[in-house]
Amino acid sequence: MNRPSMAVSRAIARVADSALAPYQTAVLRIGFGLTWLLFLLREYPHRQELYGPDSPWSWDLAAQLVGSNDAFTVLLWSDSQVWFEAVYALAVLFSLLLLLGWRTRTMAALFMVGVLTLQNRSVFMGDGGDNVLHIMAVYLVFTRCGQVWSLDARRARRAEQARARGERTRDRVGPALWAVLGLVLLLGSLAGRTDGDWFIPALLWAVWLGQAVWWLAGRLARTDQPRILLDVVANVVHNGALLVIMAEACLIYATAGWYKVQGSRWQDGTAVHYPLHLEYFSPWPSLAELLTASGTLVMLVTYVTVVVQVAFPFTLFNRRVKNVLLSFMILEHAVIAVVLGLPFFSLAMIAADAVFLPTSFLRRTGRLAARARERLRPRGEAAPVPPRRRPDGAPAGPPAVAPAEAAPVTGRVPGPRT
Amino acid sequence: MDAQDKGSDARHGPAEPGVPGPRAPLPGPVPPADGPSGPEPATPPEDERAAGAEEPPRDPSDEPRTGVAALSLRYRIGAALALAVVAVAVCVHLGMTFLHVAPPNTVSKKHSETIADWIYPEFEQNWKLFAPNPLQQNVSVQVRAEIRTPDGGSRTTGWYDLSAQDGRDIDGNPAPSHTQQNELRRAWDFYLSTHDDDNRPVGLRGALSESYLRRIMVMRLDRADAAGRDGEVARVQVRSRTTQVPPPSWSGEKVSDKAVYRVLPWWLLPEDEARGGIG
């Protein structure tokens, strides 16, 4: 075989045989889940004013706007107080469960429903952070983001061990969850509640049907071919979504950067001074004063900000430069969180940045976290837990150290170089 | 500097008049969502294994059990098809998103409707974060009310500076609420973007933005107890007070420190709002 065709088939095998970047997608899952969870908890006292039926942006106003733009929101299914409280509580629950990686694909879909529902109910309450979450919540549904650092991965590992011991395991929760959600989806559709834009309802149906097909392929099929095909399709979709997420992050930086290049304040080096002196973005006025005391410093930060944003997408071709810029941007977002009073926007951006973190770094962090957890756990408590041992006899590690073989489905996920 | 300011404000802004209402379902392209995508549920992983344990279907040879290499020709065609569909969907989606965030250009102007159909409502985005220039004005939204007293008389309150109130709530607050940071600010921007210079509303959104702004005022006046014990708010009037952010002391630049006002007409309150019942 000639070279080019070899390269092509290798590339195809790469995107079809495994869901790439298991650690990075896990961090995305944890990061966005955490951001939304913290946001919902922080806004809990203000939830009525933000999204409640009697909020200033009242149910009626929202219904008129959504009637004209067809955005997806289950909050308009009813204007009752009970429905609102239930939806808010469920949105909190789903983000927690997504963060933990419990029934990850299902939770990713439900997380998306929660994010879209609340944000589309009151679009004028949101800012850039909400925008990032909105889009990434949709993309996450397409990924296999529970391969590592998740309860799913732990469950898969335990099932594997049980099987090695010759025990039979059976999952009852999964089918039950599937049945309940199918019922809700069906009722919603029959009641005409999903008659707006077709995309989100179609996506939910696709996830639901996909799970059924996957299950059937494992149960009924005489060969393992259908299941392997589904696995390949899921990998391809995951890798496609991963590419979209990375490109989206680049688009965010490129847009932010290239539009700044045209701005006179970014050119004369004073831009950073202004946001820090806006009433709405200066929680710590004296800190802002201190940071903008030196004209030279402000000019440097202004220029570096633009340069980094414009340059970032191009640095992806060089691992070392990319990592330097990445740490700079994460640092800058951490500063923005405090200085401009935008913690949730910054957290969402840091989560998005994390898709570019190197695997070696993530695994090292995971090992540290695992060790810290081991140390925190009191001696006595470890006893009742059944001895978790890997087949190779290595001491059982908590999910964090689970090497790629913990991947629930593919079984052999290469650690991609990022 | 990535805090979003201008950026967020525009969120759902662009959807305004240009965007078609109910979207006719496009038959064609589907973002990566399409058909066979969804699988790999949270549920099945160990189902698979359990199933494998019960009825060992695989042949004992050393063939790999996953991946394209393990598929027969028929199934390989299916995989190739999926790959092609996903590849096309990814490319189209990224292209559409790019044209949506890029400045209006030859291509995006020509295909503006197709792009809008693809992007709205769920993929709308705006990343002009503090760009091209950061906002250099503090805009204070203020309100005063005409109070109807039980004896049939009426009085007019002084101006309440609601943005200053927001600013005080944000001061020293490590995690400002959207109700403090975005509510009034974006409601005002929404109003401006849907009204002409004579405060005439433009389209449905103009009317919506007026109701929205009025309801915020009623809620906040109620919190400030503007009507007193047995008074009732009959009308409200809103104005904005815009001042330039002083340039840095080291720049030597001078800007006018005069405030510019925009005063809206008095708005009569509907019965239910007058009695207060918002928020």
Per the CB < 8 A criterion, the answer to whether A149 and A26 are in contact is: yes
Residues A261 and A183 in one domain: no
Top-confidence residue, B251 or B137: B137
8 A C-beta contact, residue B256 and residue B244 = yes
Task: Confirm if A365 and A52 have CB atoms less than 8 A apart.
Answer: no
pLDDT (mean) for A138-147:
98
Quick check: A271 pLDDT over 90? yes
Could you tell me if B143 and B254 lie in one domain? yes
Supply the range of the domain harboring residue A352.
Answer: 255-356
% of residues, chain B, pLDDT over 90: 67
B50 and B153 share a domain?
A: no
Kindly state whether residues A219 and A262 are assigned to the same domain: no
Q: Taking CB atoms and an 8 Å cutoff, what residues of chain B touch A347?
A: none
Give yes or no for residue B37 having a pLDDT over 50.
no
Q: Do residues A174 and B42 touch, judged by C-beta distance below 8 A? A: yes
Number of independent structural domains in chain A: 2
**Pairing of the two strands B267-268 and B260-263:** unpaired
Task: Write down the pLDDT at residue A285.
Answer: 94
Residue B105 lies in a domain: yes
Q: Which residues from chain B sit within 8 angstroms of residue A69, using beta carbons?
A: 12, 15, 19, 21, 120-121
Which of A126, A168, A332 lies closest to B11 in CB terms?
Answer: A126
ipTM of this model? 0.90
Residue B103 DSSP code: P
- What is the pTM assigned to this prediction? 0.86
Residue B4 resides in a domain? no
| A155 lies within 8 A of chain B by CB | yes
Residues A192 and A92 in one domain: yes
> Cα dist. B159→A42, A417, B138, B239, B263 in Å?
31, 60, 17, 9, 12
Query: Which residues of chain B make contact with A203, given a CB cutoff of 8 A?
Result: 33, 38
- On whether both B155 and B261 belong to a single domain, the answer is yes
Same structural domain for residues B101 and B40?
Answer: yes
Instruction: Kindly report, residue by residue over A168-181, the tens digit of the pLDDT.
Output: 888 899 999 999 99
Does B113 reside within a domain? yes
Mean pLDDT value of segment A257-263: 96
Residues B251 and B143 occupy one common structural domain = yes
Does residue B86 share a domain with residue B57? yes
Percent with pLDDT over 70 in chain A: 90
Q: How confident is the model at residue B276 (pLDDT cuts 50, 70, 90)?
A: low
The number of domains in chain B is: 2
A68 and A136 in one domain? yes
Q: Are residues A273 and A231 in the same domain?
A: no
A382 located within any domain? no
The average pLDDT across B102-114 equals: 97
User: For B91-103, how does the pLDDT look when each residue is reduced to its tens digit (9 = 90+)?
Assistant: 999 999 999 999 9
Give the pLDDT of residue B228. Answer: 87
Whether A387 is covered by a domain: the verdict is: no
Q: How far is B159 from chain A (nearest CA, A)?
A: 18
**pLDDT one-digit tens code per residue, A201-222:** 999 999 999 999 999 998 888 8
Judgement on whether residues B223 and B106 belong to the same structural domain of the protein:
no
- Check residue A1 and give its pLDDT: 54
Among the partner-chain residues B52, B166, B187, the one whose CB lies closest to the CB of A280 is B166
Instruction: Tell me if B160 is assigned to some domain.
Output: yes
Helix (H) or strand (E) holding A79: none
* pLDDT above 70: residue A122: yes
Mark which of B93, B119, B145 sits at the end of a domain.
B119
Q: Are B265 and B143 in a shared domain?
A: yes
Note whether residue A1 is domain-resident: no
- pLDDT range class, residue A386, cuts 50, 70, 90: very low
Which structural domain, as residue segments, surrounds residue B242?
A: 137-274
Question: Does A381 score more than 60 pLDDT?
Answer: no
The region, left, alpha or beta by phi > 0 then psi within -120 to 50, assigned to residue A192 is left
Residues of chain A positioned with their CB less than 8 A from the CB of B175: 42, 341, 343-344
| Beta-strand runs (E) in A263-321 | none
Query: What pLDDT, on the 0 to 100 scale, is given for residue B3?
Result: 42
Residue percentage of chain A with pLDDT more than 90: 83
> Hey, of B122, B140, B238, which one would you mutate to test binding to chain A, going by the most A CBs within 10 A of its CB?
B122
pLDDT digits (tens, 9 = 90+) for A287-302: 999 999 999 999 999 9
If one compares A61 and B33, the residue with the highest pLDDT of the two is: A61
Average pLDDT in chain A? 90
Residues A86 and A230 in one domain: yes
**Is residue B135 exposed (0-12), middle (13-18) or buried (19+ Cβ within 10 Å)?**
middle
What mean pLDDT value characterizes chain B?
82
Q: Is the pLDDT of residue B1 over 70?
A: no
**What pLDDT shows up at residue B279?**
58
**Per-residue pLDDT, B230:** 85
Q: Is residue A163 part of a domain?
A: yes
Residues 86-145 of B with CB under 8 A from A: 86-87, 89-90, 93-94, 97-98, 101-102, 120-136, 138, 140
Are A306 and A182 within one domain? no
Give per-residue pLDDT as tens, B188-221. Answer: 999 999 999 999 999 999 999 999 999 999 999 9
The verdict on A243 and A264 lying in the same domain is no
**Which of A141-145, A226-230, A408-412 comes out lowest in average pLDDT?**
A408-412
Shared-domain flag, residues A28 and A55: yes
Is the pLDDT assigned to residue B133 strictly greater than 70?
yes
Chain A partners within 8 Å of B45 (Cβ): 152, 155-156, 159, 408-409
Q: Is residue B12 part of a domain?
A: no
Whether B43 sits inside 8 A of A159 (CB atoms) is: no
Residues B134/B137/B140/B141 CA torsion (nearest 10 deg)? -70
Residues B191 and B268 in one domain: yes
Token pair, residue B261, equals 């006002």
Mean pLDDT for A57-64 is: 96
In this model, does residue A22 exceed pLDDT 90?
yes
In this structure, how many other beta carbons lie within 10 angstroms of the beta carbon of residue A256? 25
Residues A146 and A180 in one domain: yes
Q: Are A374 and A400 in contact (CB under 8 A)?
A: no
Asked if B68 and B79 count as a contact pair (C-beta separation under 8 A), the reply is: yes
DSSP 8-class letter at A412: -
